[in-house]
Amino acid sequence: MCSIIGYLGLNEAAPIIVKGLKRMEYRGYDSVGVATFSNDQIMVRKGVGRVIEVNKTVKLEELSGNVGIGHTRWATHGMVTDTNAHPHPSSTGEVAIVHNGIIENHEELKNDLQKNGYSFRSQTDSEVIANLLQYHYDKTRNIKQAIVDTVAVLKGDYAFVAVFEDGTLAAARFHEPLIIGIGKKGYFISSDVLGFVEHADDVIYLDNKEFVIIRPSGIQIFDFEANPVQHQITKVSKEFADVYKGEYAHFTLKEISEQPLTIPKSGDNTKLELDLAADFIRHAKAVYITGSGTSYNSALVAKFLFAKYAKIKIEPIISSEAHFSPDVFEQQSILVALSQSGESADVLEAVKIAQNSGAKIISIVNIMTSSLAQMSSIAVGLGCGPEIGVAATKSFTSQLAILYKIVEKICGGCMGLDLSEVAETVRKELSDDSKSKIKEIAKRLKNVSDIYILGRGIHYPIALESSLKLKELTYIHAEGLPGGELKHGPLALMDSNTHVIMINPDDSTYSDTLTSAREIKARGAKVIGISDKPSDVYDYWIELPRIEESMYPFVEIIPIQLLAYYAAVEKDTDPDYPRNLAKSVTVK
């Protein structure tokens, strides 16, 4: 989703900004732009496409000046066009801004500003920020006052960075992330530490309703009422700098391949929090679990695990639905919030709703400095390192690993959880031999338009996660189904053009799922079996390694991640940055 960055320092700003934007590409975007201040004027260059392409055509990096702002846009208001790309200058060009979030009252503000003679070029909500800052700056010529007056009327969630005609940089935060970096050769402000991590490891996390003014003489932070605010400088983890693809063709493949290492390490950096989380859940009156996308699929796995092994009922809630059923949360209850980024707006909203009902929050999150981690009573860290590929892979298995660890603590070791054994089994699934078999099947999916994935019991959430991976990476219509529901409708869709993946491990779901496979085969559809037992019903068999029954979810998802990845490569889609999607969806 939109990334913003600003720099003021001793170096040329544009190359630093372009590099920062490249590092944040994983968040998802459709257009890019940079503005710098030099020789008493603000210059803007922008366009539709990838950072590297736009840089080639409009030479973003060649803008001169030691102060600048940059942006990658993920369109919400207005089409994907060069004009709608950020930065947006004010109508007089004395201020330019980049923005992440949504300004809900933009139409009303735009009307007022137009009546006052300020003109607009784009269809975006963001441009009102530029003109509003200009309007208030015109009245007082005081940047601090202009920001206070501007944020007083903006409605919605936002973070913006502005550059002013005197070379001052300013930024404000309201429910969207914004981090200040303090380097030896300059100041940074960005939505993500990755934007500046190689230049600065001293950071300040702006709180909600705060803004910063950055000048060569130093930085000043204020709250929205203009009171000065003191902040501690913290260090960011250097592991964030390690975000290169290395020998891999794509981040997605790199991250899939890292799972033998990340699974056993999950939660290791927050062992105390993990113990506390288990204790809180054990004593809670009611337990809910929430997430979006992949994180919600982990929540569904958790429901089965907790019920079967910990004998605790937990209710999964899709984060984006929490708003429509706010009464579900009880006093003294726990909401477990799952999120790789810790910035998904839907998850943050679910958390706020639960907190308003008196629930305590346990988060399971990869980015420990995220808004979600900050809002939680207990934050357990995935510890799987940066995940750049938009489609979640290693963060999913790390979420599972942490949920398994919590259940194992509550049930007193009843599962005999051995994550190093899981890791070793996953390593076998990632062998060259297994990969080449999956590649062959992936080739056959190239022209397929519909794939159904069936699973029963705990394998149903894995079917859902599988369909999400296939959709995200291959753009093939994919649907996860509970096996038993086949005969209640989807069977009507089976014909020789359909492919069905059966998640069919050798457990209590095995024979029912095999019966479904036969029903499907009888209608002419192609059947891909993911199982530790061969069967003549499978047109293609992906062999699952033998593992302790409770651990199947880990080993089931790995071949599907590979299948989706290789099918994406076959189809020539970009597995790391699927069209229209964002890694971190910071708007509702």
Q: Which residue ranges make up the site for ligand G6P (CB under 6 A)?
A: 292-295, 339-341, 344, 347, 390-392, 581-585
Tokens representing 115? 């009546």
Residue 19 or 471: which CB sits closer to ligand G6P? Answer: 471
Residue 329 C-beta: closest distance to ligand G6P, Å: 19
How far, in Å, CA of 193 to CA of 19, rounded?
A: 13
How far apart CA 370 and CA 451 sit, in angstroms, is: 35
CB of 16 to ligand G6P, least distance (A): 27
Please say if 583 is a catalytic residue.
yes
Q: How far apart are CA 555 and CA 580, in angstroms?
A: 29
Residue pointed to by tokens 């503005």: 35
Of 319 and 498, which has the nearer Cβ to ligand G6P?
319
Determine the straight-line distance between the first and last CA of the chain, rounded to whole angstroms.
12
Of 60 and 585, nearer to ligand G6P (C-beta) is 585
Concerning whether 384 is annotated as a catalytic residue, the answer is no
Helices 552-571 and 394-410 cross at an angle (nearest 10°) of 170
At its nearest, how many Å lie between ligand G6P and the CB of residue 299? 10
Give the active site residue among 19, 405, 526, 583.
583
Q: Kindly report the number of other CB atoms within 10 A of residue 321's CB atom.
A: 13
Pairing relation of β-strands 179-183 and 202-205? antiparallel
Shortest distance, position 29 Cβ to ligand G6P, whole Å: 13
CB closer to ligand G6P out of 32 and 392:
392
Nearer to ligand G6P, 297 or 425 (CB): 297
Query: What does the alpha-carbon distance between residue 481 and residue 486 come to, in Å, rounded to a whole number?
Result: 7
Least distance to ligand G6P from the beta carbon of 306, Å? 20
Q: How are strands ordered across the β-sheet holding 218-223?
A: 88-89, 95-103, 156-164, 169-174, 210-215, 218-223
For 59-81, letters b (16+ CB in 10 Å) and e give ebbebebbbbbbbbbbbeebeee
In the set 2, 254, 394, 405, the catalytic residue is: 2
Judge whether 51 and 25 are in contact, CB under 8 Å: yes
When CB distances to ligand G6P are compared, the closest residue is 293
Strands 334-339 and 210-215 turn out to be: unpaired
Q: How far apart are CA 179 and CA 20, in angstroms?
A: 13
Residue 13 structure tokens: 């700003």
**Amino acid sitting at position 551:** M
- We find the least distance from the C-beta atom of residue 95 to ligand G6P, in angstroms, to be 32
Which SS3 state, helix, strand or coil, does residue 106 take?
helix
Q: Which is nearer to ligand G6P, 166 or 321 (CB)?
A: 321
Q: How far is the CB of 366 from ligand G6P (least distance, A)?
A: 8
- Residues classed as catalytic: 2, 583
